């Protein structure tokens, strides 16, 4: 039984859970890519295929899945509400399964990190502003007895 090919390229045939690479150059490139990808790494990839449950992304020759729940901070009905085939996306690698050759990716993780950073910067700016106001008002504050 033949599985499906995410790219539809003639160089690869999917045979159930195993990918058979006909071109030795592609096989070596894919092996190198697997060796360099690590959990929690931030990488860029190209959206190759959209499904009801997520988006398949080519990350340096390795196929990864961004589950629909990891595409946006907001709940979305379909991945193509946010993404298009051919989009270049930054993702965080959330899981690497060498045995099954599966890669889980997340855009949402990066969005949450950026949101937290922005919130922290806003809090620091507010604290600095309050400290400046307190310093200006210090000469006018009379302590109660």
Pull the structure tokens for residue 132: 């400046």
Topology adopted by domain 38-135 = OB fold (Dihydrolipoamide Acetyltransferase, E2P) (2.40.50)
Q: What is this structure's pTM?
A: 0.66
**Within a 13 Å sphere around the CA of 10, how many CA atoms are in the beta-carbon half?**
0
Strands 62-67 and 88-97 turn out to be unpaired
Mean of the per-residue pLDDT values of the chain: 79
| Pairwise CA distance, residues 32 & 17, whole Å | 20
Per domain, the residue ranges of the chain are: 38-135
Give the chain's radius of gyration (CA, Å): 23
| Pairwise CA distance, residues 55 & 83, whole Å | 8
pLDDT at 25: 54
In this predicted model, what pLDDT tens digit does every residue of 15-74 receive, in sequence order? 444 444 445 556 677 777 777 888 999 999 999 999 999 999 998 888 899 999 999 999
CB 38 within 8 A of CB 93: yes
The DSSP element (H or E) to which 65 belongs, if any, is strand 62-67
The mean per-residue pLDDT over the stretch 105-114 comes to: 92
């Amino acid at each position: 039984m033949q599985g499906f090919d995410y790219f539809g390229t003639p160089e690869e045939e999917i045979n159930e859970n195993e990918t058979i690479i006909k071109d030795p150059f592609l096989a070596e490139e894919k092996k190198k890519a697997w060796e360099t990808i690590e959990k929690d790494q931030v990488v860029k990839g190209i959206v190759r295929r959209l499904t009801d449950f997520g988006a398949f992304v080519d990350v340096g020759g390795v196929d990864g899945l961004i589950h629909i729940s990891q595409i946006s901070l907001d709940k979305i009905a379909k991945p193509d509400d946010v993404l298009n085939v051919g989009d270049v996306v930054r993702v965080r690698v959330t899981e690497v399964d060498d045995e099954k050759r599966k890669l889980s990716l997340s855009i949402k993780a990066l969005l949450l990190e950026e949101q937290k950073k922005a919130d922290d910067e806003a809090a620091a700016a507010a604290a600095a502003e309050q400290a400046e106001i307190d310093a200006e008002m210090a000469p006018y504050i009379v302590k109660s007895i």
